[in-house]
Amino acid sequence: MTFRNKLITGFGAALCILLLIGALSYQRFLQEDSDQKWVAHTQQVLEQLDAALAASTQLNDDERPFLTSPEGTYPESAQRGASALQSHIAQIKALTADNPKQQAAQARLAELVNARISLAETLGTQSGPTVTLEESRRQLMTQIRSVFLEMRSEEERLLRERLQRATGKARQMQAILAFGYALSLLLLAVTVYSILREIEKRQHTEERLLRAQEQYRLLFDSNPIPVWVFDTETLSILDVNATAVDRYGYSREEFLQSKITDIRPQEDVPALLADLRSPHDPIQDSGPWRHRKKTGELIDVQITSYLLTFRGKKARLVVATDITEQKRATDALKQSEEMFRLIVSNVKDYAIIVLDPEGHVISWNRGAQRIKGYAAEEIVGKHFSVFYPPEDTALGKPIMELKSAREEGRFEDDSWRIRKDGSRFWANVVVTPLRDNAGLLRGFVKITRDVTEKRKAEQEIIQRSLELEAANKELETFSYSVSHDLRAPLRGIDGFSQALQEDYQQQLDSTAKDYLQRICTATRRMGELIDDLLNLARVTRAEIYRERIDLSKLAGEVAQEIQSQEPARSVALNIAEGLEAEGDSRLLRLALQNLIGNAWKFTSKREKAQIEFGAQGVNGGEAYFVRDNGAGFEQSYASRLFGAFQRLHAASEFPGTGIGLATVQRIIRRHGGTVWAEGTVNQGATVYFTLGRPNT
Amino acid sequence: MDDKVILLVEDNADDEVLTLRALKKNNIRNEVVIARDGSEALDYLFGTGAQAQRDLTVMPQIILLDLKLPKVDGFEVLHRVRSNEATKLLPVVILTTSNEDQDRIRGYGLGANSFVRKPVEFDKFIEAVRQLGLYWLILNEAPPVPRRP
């Protein structure tokens, strides 16, 4: 039942009950009035009866003196009493007109009264009483009294009855009233209660509505995602949230004056209209779409829309999620994947093969085709063990490799593989397991390189270095035995020649002595040659220990040594200060010994010999030099200076083995440097050298 | 000075003659015991083999030891000398033709007292022998000869 019906029913019922009660009350009021009248009437009858009885008694009393003393006249008072009695009787008659029973009694009374009065009249006319009269009078009186009593009791009964009836009706009325009022009160209470309930309910609803509205506003406005509502008919934007205003750059007012087509790039509008015409679900996801910001910047959005009624219009609420970054990332990923795929498939130097977890070929690149000879369609789906030599397959090597890769995360191997044509190649293979995010094995990547040539080259290098090592060893052994065995006989030759000269001086003529002297000279020269050759060999095979060297100091020491061997000579030494270099001090000392030694030697014929050690910039680097003003040489022979046993001067003029500069060159080269010489005959020579890799 | 024995361990007969001549020219008149290979040297030093009857209280004042020797080479001799109680303190001068680094390192490593390279030129050789004699036979005080148990 609706609240309204409830209200009508409640109040209506209460009203009806009250009306009914009113009607009943009115009726009762009328009834009670008549009842009262009847009660009054009865009381009037009773009064008249009492008065009539009193009058009849009075009559008797008034008559009594007359009766006792029947002289005189009939008392006047008795006469008046009789007529009063008659008038009472007449009144009674009138009063009891409504009651036939009382009328009958009254008639009887009237008869008796009349009889009494006639008796009185009779008495009056008679003189003196008679016994008969007396008796009649007494009888009549008794009869009258009894009729009176009869009537009186009848009236009293009537009065009781009427009073009783009135009381009963009043009680009934009371009950009805009480019940009616109670019922209507209850109804009213119920109705009022339901009104209160309804008011409360409405208040609640109103509050909820208000809250919902607030929440909606809050959700709408503080939603971090742009949201708007548009009229599906006119496409006008009806509401827009703060985020949309913030993100799109249009003011709220601008939005509300726009249609949704206004925030799209012009070229997308037809597609949008087509989309809007197509049937829509109440909740629909669509996109990606492009939206245009006020600045003209385009963004990619994903749209979710809800059908709703907004301010009485059919509308859609649109939630636009900016997916520009996401789309960019996805595009980039796509691009990078495509790039990656292109790279892999186009790599020619490496066979990049993807295997499934069991080892069947899934993908095959150009490198694989080039190296192994199979085209992709020939090999995809086949097991990768076809690339292995039968003996390896028999040993279960392919499966072991996958197992190893699976367990270790990587497997690498260098071994033989078979091409499609059956030929073998030496392969470097790296197998890596491919696992998804859950760690599940999805397959393997196998990268194979044909390193046959590399292996050949490596083997050659190994062979070469073994040979070189052997050669070095041999050279070492050779030098060692040269050092020991070649010199010993020389000492014998020299010693015994000298012994001859000494012990047989008398027997030898001057020619013999000269020959012996020549033997000694030759022997010594041989000794020097051997020593120089050994030095050269030593320089060749010595290891280089690079360290920071004070070259100026080293040159000074070397010069001093040489000077001390020939204290008589006076040479102007000019050694530049502070020259430093990285190198092997022992070898560089040997080089300087040779260079300064040469300068010393070739200036031996100069009166004012000058030797200079210094440095100068050459080709961006620093070249050290040893310069003298000695014999010099012809520049055209400069290149021959550094060959072993190459001499530009007669041994008689300047002694020497011709190995010194060869040794210098070897030392400089071993330092990564170069050495060259400039000279002019009789004017001096300059030998330059650089030391490679400075400060490394 | 005469009672101090020189032990010359030298396989080259020429060098032996020249060494003796150099000693003579320097007026070094000490007894020179010559061992022509390593095993002879060891026999002499330890009274074994041909030298079984030798009086071992006499020990050389100086051992001039060549390195390249038949049978037992100089290094081995040096090693045995240094390993034996009776000989471990004896002065040993390596007198050899080479001056290879490796030989010097090994020689000093085994406990040589000196390392002298024989010059090719005889007069220089004489000079070297003179200095050796002067130093080891006159200037230097040898360790006392240990008593044999």
HEC-encoded secondary structure of chain B: CCCCCEEEECCCHHHHHHHHHHHHHCCCCCCEEEECCHHHHHHHHHCCHHHCCCCCCCCCCEEEECCCCCCCCHHHHHHHHHHCCCCCCCCEEEEECCCCHHHHHHHHHCCCCEEEECCCCHHHHHHHHHHHHHHHHHHCCCCCCCCCC
Determine, for residues A488 and B15 on separate chains, whether the beta-carbon distance falls below 8 Å.
yes
Q: How far does B81 lie from chain A, in Å, by closest CA?
A: 23
What is the span of the domain harbouring residue A179? 3-190
Give the total number of structural domains in chain B.
Answer: 1
> Per residue in A679-696, pLDDT tens?
888 888 999 999 876 543
**Contact status of B136 with chain A (Cβ, < 8 Å):** no
What is the span of the domain harbouring residue B110? 6-139
The residue of chain B nearest to residue A495, with distances taken between CA atoms, is B122
A229 CB-near residues (< 8 Å, 6+ apart): A237, A238, A239, A240, A308, A310, A315, A316, A317, A318
- Asked if residue A213 belongs to a domain, the reply is no
Nearest to A613 by CA among A529, A537, A689: A689
Q: Residue A85 corresponds to which tokens in the numbers above?
A: 């009695």
What is the pairing mode between strands A313-322 and A361-364?
A: unpaired
- Asked if residue A618 belongs to a domain, the reply is yes
Q: How much is the pLDDT for A592?
A: 93
- Asked if residue B144 belongs to a domain, the reply is no
Give the total number of structural domains in chain A.
Answer: 5
Q: Are residues A275 and A300 in the same domain?
A: yes
Mutation for testing the B interface, residue in A476, A477, A484 having most B CBs under 10 Å: A484
Q: How far does A492 lie from chain B, in Å, by closest CA?
A: 6
Contacts of A517 in chain B (CB under 8 A): none
Q: What is the pTM of this model?
A: 0.45
Q: Are residues A123 and A39 in the same domain?
A: yes
Q: How much is the pLDDT for A689?
A: 92
Q: Are residues A98 and A117 in the same domain?
A: yes
Q: How much is the pLDDT for B52?
A: 86
Q: Are residues A473 and A435 in the same domain?
A: no
Domain boundary among A141, A165, A190: A190
Q: Are residues A234 and A322 in the same domain?
A: yes
Q: By the 8 A CB rule, do A417 and A442 touch?
A: no
Q: How much is the pLDDT for A70?
A: 60
- Asked if residue A562 belongs to a domain, the reply is yes
B residues 43-102 near A, CB within 8 Å?
67-68, 96-100, 102
- Asked if residue A195 belongs to a domain, the reply is no
* Regions of chain A short of the pLDDT cut 50: 695-696
- Asked if residue A472 belongs to a domain, the reply is yes
Report yes or no for ipTM above 0.85. Answer: no
DSSP A648: S
**Contact status of A545 with chain B (Cβ, < 8 Å):** no
Mutation for testing the B interface, residue in A475, A486, A494 having most B CBs under 10 Å: A494
Q: Are residues A48 and A184 in the same domain?
A: yes
d(CA A530, CA A493) in angstroms, rounded, equals: 15
> In whole angstroms, how far apart are CA A13 and each of A128, A184, A191, A262?
84, 7, 10, 64
Q: Which amino acid is at A414?
A: D
CA atoms A178, A180, A183, A189: torsion sign: negative
The residue of chain B nearest to residue A490, with distances taken between CA atoms, is B120
How is the beta sheet containing B32-35 ordered, strand by strand?
A: B32-35, B6-9, B62-65, B92-96, B114-117
- Asked if residue B112 belongs to a domain, the reply is yes
Q: Are residues A39 and A84 in the same domain?
A: yes
Q: How much is the pLDDT for A127?
A: 58
- Asked if residue B76 belongs to a domain, the reply is yes
Residue A182 Rama label (left phi>0; alpha psi -120 to 50; beta): alpha
The per-residue b/e assignment along A639-667, b for 16 or more CB within 10 angstroms, e otherwise, is eebbebeebbeeeeebebbbbbbbbbbbb
Q: How far does B15 lie from chain A, in Å, by closest CA?
A: 7
Q: How much is the pLDDT for A695?
A: 43
Q: How much is the pLDDT for A126?
A: 63
Q: Strand runs (DSSP E) across A494-619, as ranges?
A: 547-550, 571-575, 580-583, 609-618
CATH code assigned at B14: 3.40.50.2300
Q: Are residues A303 and A158 in the same domain?
A: no
Q: How much is the pLDDT for A696?
A: 38
Domain boundary among A167, A190, A213: A190
- Asked if residue A209 belongs to a domain, the reply is no
Determine, for residues A523 and B98 on separate chains, whether the beta-carbon distance falls below 8 Å.
no
d(CA A119, CA A157) in angstroms, rounded, equals: 32
Q: Are residues A288 and A298 in the same domain?
A: yes
Domain boundary among A329, A356, A391: A329
* Regions of chain B short of the pLDDT cut 70: 1-2, 145-149
> In whole angstroms, how far apart are CA A179 and each of A7, A166, A188, A579?
22, 20, 14, 137
Q: Are residues A51 and A164 in the same domain?
A: yes
